[in-house]
Amino acid sequence: MRDFSFKNATDIRFGKDHIDAELHDAVAQFGNNVLFIYGGHSIQKSGLYDRVKGLLNDLNVVELGGVEPNPKISSVRDGQKLAQDNNVDVILAVGGGSVIDAAKVISSAKFYNGDAWDLVVNANGADSYKLDEVPIVDILTLSATGTEMNHNAVISNPEINEKIGTRVPETPAISFLDPELTETVPARQTAAGSIDIMSHLTEQYFDRDDANDVSKGMIEGLMRTVIKWAPVAIKNPSNYDARANLMWSSTMALNGIVSVANVTGWTVHPLEHELSAYYDITHGIGLGILTPRWMKQVIEDETTLPLFARLARIVWHLTGDDDLTLAKQAIQKTYEWNASLGAEMTLPEVGISDDSKFDVMAKAGVEEGQLETAGYIKLTPADVVAIYQDSMTPEMF
Amino acid sequence: MRDFSFKNATDIRFGKDHIDAELHDAVAQFGNNVLFIYGGHSIQKSGLYDRVKGLLNDLNVVELGGVEPNPKISSVRDGQKLAQDNNVDVILAVGGGSVIDAAKVISSAKFYNGDAWDLVVNANGADSYKLDEVPIVDILTLSATGTEMNHNAVISNPEINEKIGTRVPETPAISFLDPELTETVPARQTAAGSIDIMSHLTEQYFDRDDANDVSKGMIEGLMRTVIKWAPVAIKNPSNYDARANLMWSSTMALNGIVSVANVTGWTVHPLEHELSAYYDITHGIGLGILTPRWMKQVIEDETTLPLFARLARIVWHLTGDDDLTLAKQAIQKTYEWNASLGAEMTLPEVGISDDSKFDVMAKAGVEEGQLETAGYIKLTPADVVAIYQDSMTPEMF
């Protein structure tokens, strides 16, 4: 097992009864000037907006609404100005991953006098780690990205067609995770979020440090949890236990715990980013299409087969003596589980029926993910084109 | 799933190459006055004592050596005086659970002017949570208790025959976990430590909140890890991966992550505490004897059987359709695994051949664990006597 360092000080308040009892003091302990960040109208429709405003009615609250699903640098710049103009002491982010991601960059940007995009790309001497930070309190409304307990943020800059993942110095100070708030998430978003969680787990499971059974064992448990509860949440959106298991799984999947000591980078995410860059498709759906095809592509490497067979036995409860057969069955199960959630399983179904961009996408994906050197299994652009091509039809084996 | 709060800010430095590179700054960031706490001569024999002293040679180091395996309040009082007399800024605890447990109470006791025992029992208005604390940096040399990343400390007061578990305000600030330091741990202690880890996992797995698949899934992965690697470490003490998997499992088993949302208390630990109170037996060995008998006692309750069958399938890889058969096989496997580590599996083998104290032990164990109300399965003193009696002979089913 490789050496690692791990620290994560986010204070999690999980469940139905924390927000009303604790939100005010959780925010006010940091000061009176609050920047309240949220996305579209869903928190107004659901009543969460009024609830939050009511709880903070003795504080000075300025608002940044309308943060986009893929948060834009323009929203971050707006937040930076609001934070500076109002000498904000604390940021309250209410929403899904996008809102919290934007809050994370604004948190450092308050203490930076240049363009906030510098912080995202670490340009012009801007390094958020050298700056002070406004503490973040958040209320999560969607189970998917894990941003509520990690250092990551993804910000888009449409002026220059860039979408960049950045790492901020501190995880959120306090995250309120109330599964009830996700009961109104539509089936399709629930499916995409669940597939996203499974993909995070898969990317971390297939790692070259094959001696780390602690991480692999915990990942297997989280996978079984998501496999079991996502269909329940889709069939019965107000099943609290389903929402709770998905919510806590999504946090645990990406708070760093299950990837300590990992050595190799992610593969399917860079390949999906290229799809999203050229076509307007949902991230989780794209991952669900690509993952089984990536698995097919790498399954017969002698170093991967034992781990695929382990996945088959422990996660999919398959039995048998032949590893290759088991591995193929596990991949088929992955495909069928994605499909059972109502997710499209081919590229043409999501509007990509033309393969003319595959070469350029493959090249860029290999470069982004350093897939020829840093990936779990080496992939060349030609390998990636094969994965995209294989995603054009539903046939698996 | 029940509501919960979770926060754990301990900074973990795991692996071979952290101590020499990072120990000095990890300690010195808190100040120049260091209280260095350790146990017996093993860190002198192994060279760790000299290594640590060398790394801290520009700091003012006062020492408290000789902390006992079950740390006594007299050692804590000695540490309190040293910390106060030398205005200590930081405590460096080097050793196993006992040394770190003592350090945790000394950490608050520096700021208390009465008897440190008051802090352990929360008497005389002493409440460590209301006091300041000296930060703790530790170097762990034994994988078992999980103290390196939790709030727990167990302190003995032989003058009044008490051994009390207490909860301190903060987890250690920084814990260095170097699996190499455990390669000299003898086979018997490795076995007892591994059985202790398995017991921590078992106590948290059998919980009444049956909707929490996140915790149960992660526990299953940790159990499989310990089951796999403990025999390897015993057979080949310097197998680094075995020591690393055991070390990280022991931390993850008791840092709070896998018991969030749990609702019921522990059962086998209170029953073992009574054995230890009356006889000089090793904690982990006592747990290993009692656990399969407790399982036998509660297996046929209709609420427990599905979880035992799940344990059988997921942790012990057993197959079959009859839950009771599977459950019994899982219990047998638990017994055989303990025995395979070289642990004694009956009370007479550890010197308890007389059942005359079982009644009084059972009554005290039920009271300590509130087993008639707060346990996973209600146990009366008569049930506990049956568990002790069943532990007199090797027969299981």
Along the 397 residues of chain A, how does pLDDT read in single tens digits? 999 999 999 999 999 999 999 999 999 999 999 999 999 888 999 999 999 999 999 999 999 999 998 899 999 999 999 999 999 999 999 999 999 999 999 999 999 999 999 999 988 888 999 999 999 999 999 999 999 999 999 999 989 888 889 999 999 999 999 999 999 999 999 999 999 999 999 999 999 988 999 999 999 999 999 999 999 999 999 999 999 999 999 999 999 999 999 999 999 999 999 998 889 899 999 999 999 999 999 998 788 999 999 999 999 999 999 999 999 999 999 999 999 999 999 999 999 999 999 999 999 999 999 999 998 999 999 999 999 999 999 999 9
- Picking from B5, B11, B225, the nearest residue to A217 by CB comes out as B225
pLDDT of residue B300: 80
> What's the rounded Cα separation, in Å, for the pair A239 and A376?
37
CATH number of B11-182: 3.40.50.1970
SS3 content of chain B, % helix, strand, coil (to 5): 50, 15, 35
Residue A175 C-alpha, separation from nearest chain B C-alpha, in angstroms: 10
pLDDT of residue B156: 92
* Start and end residues for every CATH 3.40.50.1970 domain found in chain B: 11-182
pLDDT of residue A35: 98
ipTM > 0.85? yes
- Picking from B9, B13, B216, the nearest residue to A5 by CB comes out as B13
> What's the rounded Cα separation, in Å, for the pair B385 and B391?
10
| Closest residue by Cα to residue A283 from A161, A159, A199 | A199
Check if B316 contacts A (Cβ < 8 Å).
Answer: no
pLDDT of residue B325: 96
Structure tokens at B186: 């003898």
Residue B367 C-alpha, separation from nearest chain A C-alpha, in angstroms: 31
Which secondary structure element, helix H or strand E, spans residue A37, and what is its range?
Answer: strand A33-38
Check if A307 contacts B (Cβ < 8 Å).
Answer: no
B253 contacts B162 by C-beta, under 8 angstroms? no
Task: Report percent pLDDT > 90 for chain B.
Answer: 91
Residue B177 C-alpha, separation from nearest chain A C-alpha, in angstroms: 10
Residue A21 C-alpha, separation from nearest chain B C-alpha, in angstroms: 13
| Closest residue by Cα to residue A223 from A369, A338, A346, A329 | A338
Check if A128 contacts B (Cβ < 8 Å).
Answer: no
Residues 6 or more apart whose CB falls under 8 angstroms from that of A261 comprise A1, A2, A3, A4, A209, A212, A215, B14, B15
- Picking from A244, A257, A260, the nearest residue to B257 by CB comes out as A257
Note which residues in 84-103 of chain B have CB less than 8 A from chain A: none
pLDDT tens per residue across all 397 residues of chain B? 999 999 999 999 999 999 999 999 999 999 999 999 999 888 999 999 999 999 999 999 999 999 998 899 999 999 999 999 999 999 999 999 999 999 999 999 999 999 999 999 988 888 999 999 999 999 999 999 999 999 999 999 989 888 889 999 999 999 999 999 999 999 999 999 999 999 999 999 999 988 999 999 999 999 999 999 999 999 999 999 999 999 999 999 999 999 999 999 999 999 999 998 889 899 999 999 999 999 999 998 788 999 999 999 999 999 999 999 999 999 999 999 999 999 999 999 999 999 999 999 999 999 999 999 998 999 999 999 999 999 999 999 9
Q: Could you read off the pLDDT of B166-188 as tens digits, one per residue? A: 999 999 999 999 999 999 999 99
Residues of A in contact with B223 (CB under 8 A): 217
- Picking from A221, A260, A317, the nearest residue to B221 by CB comes out as A221
Residue A307 C-alpha, separation from nearest chain B C-alpha, in angstroms: 15
> What's the rounded Cα separation, in Å, for the pair A104 and A129?
12
Q: State phi, psi for B162 to the nearest 5 degrees.
A: -120, 145
Check if A194 contacts B (Cβ < 8 Å).
Answer: no
Residues of A in contact with B8 (CB under 8 A): 8-9
CB contact under 8 A, A213 and B6: no
CB contact under 8 A, A248 and B317: no
A&B contacts, CB < 8 Å: 142
- ∠ CA B260-B266-B272, nearest 5°, is 145
pLDDT of residue A40: 86
Q: Which amino acid is at A54?
A: G
Residues of A in contact with B319 (CB under 8 A): 319
Taking only Cα atoms into account, the Rg of chain B, rounded to an integer number of angstroms, comes to 21
Test mutation, A2, A218, A262, chain B, max B CBs within 10 A: A218
Residues of A in contact with B311 (CB under 8 A): none
Test mutation, A12, A194, A213, A247, chain B, max B CBs within 10 A: A213
Q: Could you tell me where the DSSP H helices lie in B186-282?
A: 187-205, 213-235, 240-253, 268-278
How far is the CA of A151 from the CAs of A111, A168, B149, in angstroms? Answer: 18, 5, 21
> What's the rounded Cα separation, in Å, for the pair A220 and A141?
25
* Start and end residues for every CATH 1.20.1090.10 domain found in chain A: 187-390
> What's the rounded Cα separation, in Å, for the pair B327 and B274?
27
Q: Collapsing DSSP states into helix, strand and coil, what is residue B35?
A: strand
Residue A348 C-alpha, separation from nearest chain B C-alpha, in angstroms: 35
Test mutation, B11, B17, B218, chain A, max A CBs within 10 A: B218
Q: Could you read off the pLDDT of B82-128 as tens digits, one per residue? A: 999 999 999 999 999 999 999 999 999 999 999 999 999 988 888 99
Check if B25 contacts A (Cβ < 8 Å).
Answer: no
pLDDT of residue A157: 92
Residue B134 C-alpha, separation from nearest chain A C-alpha, in angstroms: 19
How far is the CA of A154 from the CAs of A119, A147, A213, B64, in angstroms? Answer: 12, 10, 30, 49
Q: Which CATH superfamily is domain A187-390 in?
A: Dehydroquinate synthase-like - alpha domain (1.20.1090.10)
Structure tokens at A281: 């498709």
**Cα B229 off chain centre by:** 18
Residues 6 or more apart whose CB falls under 8 angstroms from that of A24 comprise A55, A56, A58, A59
How far is the CA of A233 from the CAs of A223, A243, A329, B194, B365, in angstroms? Answer: 15, 6, 25, 38, 42
